[in-house]
Structure 1
Amino acid sequence: MIIGYARVSKNDQHLDRQIDRLKKEGCERIYQEKVSGAGKIRPELDRMLDALREGDTVIVCELTRLGRSVKELFMLAERIGATGADLRSIKEPWLDTTTPQGKLLFAVFSGVSQFERDIIRERTLEGLESARARGRKGGRPKADAGRIELAMKLYDSRACPVSDILKASGISKATLYAYLKDRESTEKGT
């Protein structure tokens, strides 16, 4: 089945141009929505991805309708490919996984994208190592010992609810429970 996906960012924009182009390409079903590409919630895109079957072809007028970042586009293209479906962009003819050349170009671009992620990771690790060599440590600073002690005493007294303990001590719920868990495992000797 040839499936189209059309999206505009705002309610006052129109999908007509995209729908006309997708129909011209032979789309039998067109998923359409009016939501920002920056948002994580795109129900029609999710419905389309869930409905894909092996042999289907997804057509978009241009890649920006599918995703806003290279990373997001590659993730979506890989998800489409994992179902056995293909992806084609009208505006970017190099992206056509129905052809051997399109698959090759997508593989090259995917490789470049992975290379970029690996380089960023490598630089991050080098930066952390350099910072440690200078005596700096990453992560969140430890909570104030006095605040932790107050929170633990209040918790052990069972005199007030956790919400009041958090307000009085100024620590977060996650911090309180992390210290309680740590104390419990220390008492058990594990």
Structure 2
Amino acid sequence: MIIGYARVSTADQSLDLQMDALNKAGCERIYTEKASGGKDDRIELARVLDTLREGDTLVVYKLDRLARSTKKLIEVADLLDELGAELVSINDNMDTKTPIGKAMFRMIGVIAELERDMIRERTKAGLEAARARGRKGGRPKTDARKLDHAVRLYEAKSHSVREITELTGVSKGSLYRELDRRKEGAQ
């Protein structure tokens, strides 16, 4: 059986491109997931790996949809070897049914991990450079007066939360955190 796996990192990203490619590759069943590739507890990936049997082929659009670290890719490769299943990565033009495909699988995994580490290193260096120039990271603090005004509007029940956020400029998350904080303080 040819089984597909598609993943995007956030809920607002689309699976359409991957789904089209997996359908074109002849996948009989496709598992989809909206979860970070860095997480090891991806439910649908676990289901895919439990479903695979000897002779099956797991198809992904790109290897980074399957795993973000060489370690995880190798774990998946070892599991597929144990099961007698193969792996095809459409965009990486890789098929583990061939010796070259198996070698390419491991090399691409190393390169993907290197790329991720380099991005992390550049981000860290950029944040350190900004701090050295006196800039702080993170979100700006919410103005206490605006927050207090938003809470009063909320408690008056005269406006919807959406209207309150538009009127005050206080985000919905900040409003709810402040309401929780005040509720805990009152108890």
TM-score over 0.5 (shorter chain): yes
Deviation at 1:51, TM superposition (A): 7.5
Instruction: Quote the residue 1:112 is aligned against.
Output: 111
Equivalent of 1:72 in 37, 40, 65: 65
Q: How do 1:15-26 residues align onto structure 2 when only pairs under 5 Å count?
A: none
What is the TM-score with the length of structure 2 in the denominator?
Answer: 0.57
Separation of aligned partners in 2, 1:116 and 1:148: 41
Structure 2's unaligned 5+ residue stretches are 5-17, 35-43
Asked if 1 retains the 8 angstrom alpha-carbon contact of 2:2 and 2:29, the reply is no
% identity of equivalent residues? 32
Listed as ranges, the matches of 1:1-190 within 5 Å are: 2-3=1-2, 9=20, 30-31=27-28, 49=48, 52-58=51-57, 66-67=60-61, 71-72=64-65, 78=73, 81=77, 82=79, 84=83, 85-88=85-88, 95-96=95-96, 98=97, 102-156=101-155, 158-163=156-161, 164-185=163-184
Tell me by how many angstroms 1:162 deviates.
4.5
Q: What's the CA shift for 1:122?
A: 1.1
Deviating 4+ runs (over 4 angstroms) = 7-10, 77-83, 89-94, 98-101, 184-188
The count of corresponding residues between Structure 1 and Structure 2 is: 152
Gaps of 5+ in 1: 20-29, 34-39, 61-65
Contact preservation (8 Å) 2:3, 2:57: yes
Match of 2:64, as an amino acid?
K
- TM-score normalised to the size of structure 1? 0.56
The structure number with the bigger radius of gyration is: 1
Query: 3-state SS of the aligned residue for 1:87?
Result: strand
Distance in 2 (alpha carbons) for counterparts of 1:93 and 1:166: 48
Whether the aligned pair in 2 keeps the contact of 1:49 and 1:80 (CA below 8 Å) is no
For residues 120 and 91 of structure 1, what CA distance do their matches in structure 2 show? 21
